[in-house]
Amino acid sequence: MKAVIALADGTIYEGRSFGATGIAGGELVFNTSMSGYQEILTDPSYRGQIVTMTYPLIGNYGVNPEDVESSGPQVQGFIVRENSVVRSNWRATRTLDEYLDDHNIMGVDLVDTRAITRHIRDHGAQNAVISTTRKTPEQLVRMAREWPDMAGLDLVRDVCVDKPTDWNRSGRFRVAVLDCGVKYNILRELQKRGARLKLFPAHGDLKDILKFKPHGVMLSNGPGDPDAVPYAVDTVRELVGRQPMFGICFGHQILGLAMGGNTYKLKFGHRGANHPVKDMRTGKVHITVQNHGFCVDLDSLDNAADIEVTHLNLNDNTVEGIKHKKLPIFSVQFHPEASPGPHDTLYMFDEFMAAVEKTNA
Q: Is 121 helix (H, G, I), strand (E, B) or coil?
A: helix
Which of 119, 252, 286, 335 is flagged as catalytic? 335
What pLDDT does residue 260 have?
92
What is the band of 302 on the pLDDT scale with cuts at 50, 70, 90? confident
- Tell whether 182 and 83 lie within a shared domain: no
- Tell whether 213 and 339 lie within a shared domain: yes
- Tell whether 14 and 127 lie within a shared domain: yes
Question: Is residue 46 within 8 Å of residue 35, measured between CB atoms?
Answer: no
Number of domains in the chain: 2
Q: What is the pLDDT of residues 31-47, one digit of tens each?
A: 999 999 999 999 999 99
- The answer to pTM > 0.85 is yes
Which of 160, 180, 249, 295 is flagged as catalytic? 249
Return the number of other C-beta atoms located less than 10 Å from residue 159's C-beta: 25
- Tell whether 272 and 320 lie within a shared domain: yes
Query: Quick check: is 151 in a domain?
Result: no
Q: What is the pLDDT of residues 327-349, one digit of tens each?
A: 999 999 999 999 889 999 999 99
Give CA 65 to chain center in angstroms. 20
**Residue 49 phi, psi (nearest 5):** -125, 150
Residue 195: CATH number of its domain: 3.40.50.880
CA-based end-to-end distance of the chain: 62
Return the number of other C-beta atoms located less than 10 Å from residue 213's C-beta: 10
- Tell whether 93 and 164 lie within a shared domain: no
Residue 292: strand pairing partners: 270
Residue 113: CATH number of its domain: 3.50.30.20
- Tell whether 237 and 123 lie within a shared domain: no
Q: What is the pLDDT of residues 168-207, one digit of tens each?
A: 999 999 999 999 999 999 999 999 999 999 999 999 999 9
- Tell whether 330 and 255 lie within a shared domain: yes
Query: Quick check: is 185 in a domain?
Result: yes
Q: Which of 84, 111, 146 is the last residue of a domain?
A: 146
- Tell whether 185 and 47 lie within a shared domain: no
- Tell whether 38 and 91 lie within a shared domain: yes
Which of 39, 69, 189, 337 is flagged as catalytic? 337
- Tell whether 283 and 314 lie within a shared domain: yes
What pLDDT does residue 309 have?
96
Asked whether residue 252 carries a pLDDT value surpassing 90, the answer given is yes
Return the number of other C-beta atoms located less than 10 Å from residue 297's C-beta: 15
Q: Which of 126, 146, 166 is the last residue of a domain?
A: 146
User: Average model confidence (pLDDT) for the chain?
Assistant: 97
Asked whether residue 223 carries a pLDDT value surpassing 90, the answer given is yes
What is the distance between the alpha carbons of residues 248 and 221, in angstroms, rounded to a whole number? 5
- Tell whether 131 and 234 lie within a shared domain: no
335 is catalytic: yes
Query: Quick check: is 327 in a domain?
Result: yes
- Tell whether 329 and 182 lie within a shared domain: yes
Closest CA to 14 of 163, 115, 144: 115
What pLDDT does residue 339 have?
87
Boundaries of domain holding 179? 156-359
Q: Is 263 helix (H, G, I), strand (E, B) or coil?
A: strand
